[in-house]
Amino acid sequence: MRQNIHFVTKYINNFKIAQNIKLNSEYFILELLCPEKLSEILPGQFVEVLVENSSNTFLRRPISIFDVNYENNSLKLLIKIIGDGTKKLSELSINSKLNLIYPLGNSYSLPNCKDVLLIGGGCGIAPLFYTAKFFKNYNVNFTLLLGFREKSQVILQKEFSELGKIFYTTDDGGFGERGNVLQHSILKNNNFEKIYSCGPEIMMKNIAIWAKNKNIDCEVSLENLMACGLGACLCCVQKTKSGNKCVCTEGPVFNVNDLLW
């Protein structure tokens, strides 16, 4: 899609918390209202969130854009509590302000083939929700495959099922098929032409290897540690076939053929 990130304007704004929805003990969703007209957001892009009043959180936190509503200029973020920064975000009250830099990063590319598969694991399902919605608008025929550790971890089942065909795996088989995402039967019974993935690195690496073996084009979204999010500090680099690339501007989405996996 987009080639050069520097031509896309980035904004910094105080968003207002419209909702803070606790999904379970780990996950929550923030709905954020932009005080201005929201700029165009592509699937796979992220924001840099300023966490205030957390003495252990100095840098901003990169979080994927989970959903976009241009009608009321709102964004949703799906966040997993990992440490102090995300814990503080989970405690934000309605109407309080959250400072964001957005939209950041490249995006998943629009497929030029028929059957595509979106594979998400854990909090990697976050960018796939908006990606699926975006693809739907472009009449892309997609299937979703989401992996969770166990049934109690499965979140947003209703919201995802409204988007289209969806399948699940859990480690113990308590929900959907048993095993990891690559063991799901839809991979054996279908000929997907393109895979889009986000999740734990080990999951994405295995998917990349599998896809390469089958000659299926595959894009993954990386979560390297970031400082600036703007391509200035070079802290977030990923080794690729053409040297170090910034995950924050030249990613987070990479075609696995460019990676050294």
Partner 1 sequence: MVEIDFNGLKLKNPVLAASGTFGYGIEYSDFVNLNDLGGFIVKGTTIDNREGNDYPRMTETASGMLNAVGLQNKGIDYFIENIYPKIKDYKTNILVNVSGSQIEDYVKVAEKVNELKAIPGIELNISCPNVKEGGMAFGTNCESAANVVKAVRKVYKKHLMVKLSPNVTDITTIAKVVEYEGANSVSLVNTFMGMAIDVKTRKPKLSTITGGLSGPAIKPIAVCLVWKVSNAVKIPVCGLGGIMSANDAIEFLLAGASAIQVGTANFINPKITTEIIEGIDNYCKINSIQKINEFRML
Ligand X SMILES: Cc1cc2nc3c(=O)[nH]c(=O)nc-3n(C[C@H](O)[C@H](O)[C@H](O)COP(=O)(O)OP(=O)(O)OC[C@H]3O[C@@H](n4cnc5c(N)ncnc54)[C@H](O)[C@@H]3O)c2cc1C
With CB under 5 to 8 Å by kind, the binding choice for 137 among ligand FMN, partner 1, ligand X, none is none
Choose which of 13, 64, 74, 169 interacts with ligand X (CB under 6 A): 64
CA distance 107 to 64: 11
Check binding of 58 to partner 1 (CB under 8 A). Answer: yes
Minimum distance from CB of 10 to partner 1 (Å)? 5
For ligand FES, which is the closer residue by CB, 126 or 248?
A: 248
**How far is Cα 77 from Cα 156, in angstroms, rounded to an integer?**
13
- Closest to ligand FMN by CB, 101 or 146: 101
| Nearest distance in Å: CB 228, ligand FMN | 8
User: 158: left (phi > 0), else alpha (psi -120 to 50), else beta?
Assistant: alpha
Does 62 bind ligand X (CB under 6 A)? Our answer is yes
Q: Does 151 bind partner 1 (CB under 8 A)?
A: no
Q: Which residues contact 42 (CB under 8 A, 6 or more apart)?
A: 1, 2, 103, 106, 107, 108, 134
| Residue 59 lies near ligand FMN (rule: CB under 6 A) | no
Given a contact cutoff of 8 angstroms between Cβ atoms, the answer to whether 194 and 207 are in contact is no
Nearer to ligand X, 216 or 223 (CB): 223
CB atoms within 10 A of CB 130: 24
Is the omega angle on the peptide bond into residue 103 within 30 degrees of 0, that is, cis? yes
Decide if residue 195 touches partner 1 (CB under 8 A): no
DSSP letters, 89-109, are HHTPPTT-EEEEEEEES--PP
| Residue 233 found at the interface with ligand FMN (CB under 6 A) | yes
CB of 105 to ligand FES, least distance (A): 9
Name the residue whose CB lies closest to ligand FMN.
233
CB of 141 to ligand X, least distance (A): 25
SS3 (DSSP) at 5: helix
Among 52, 84, 162, 172, binds ligand X (CB under 6 A): 84
Q: Which residue has the tokens 């995006």?
A: 107
Q: Using DSSP, how many helices (H) and how many strands (E) does the chain show?
A: 5, 16
Nearer to ligand FES by Cβ, of 202 and 234: the residue is 234
Q: Which residue ranges make up the site for ligand X (CB under 6 A)?
A: 46, 57, 61-64, 78-80, 82-86, 123, 126, 223-226, 252
Q: Rule CB under 6 A: which residues touch ligand FMN? A: 233, 235
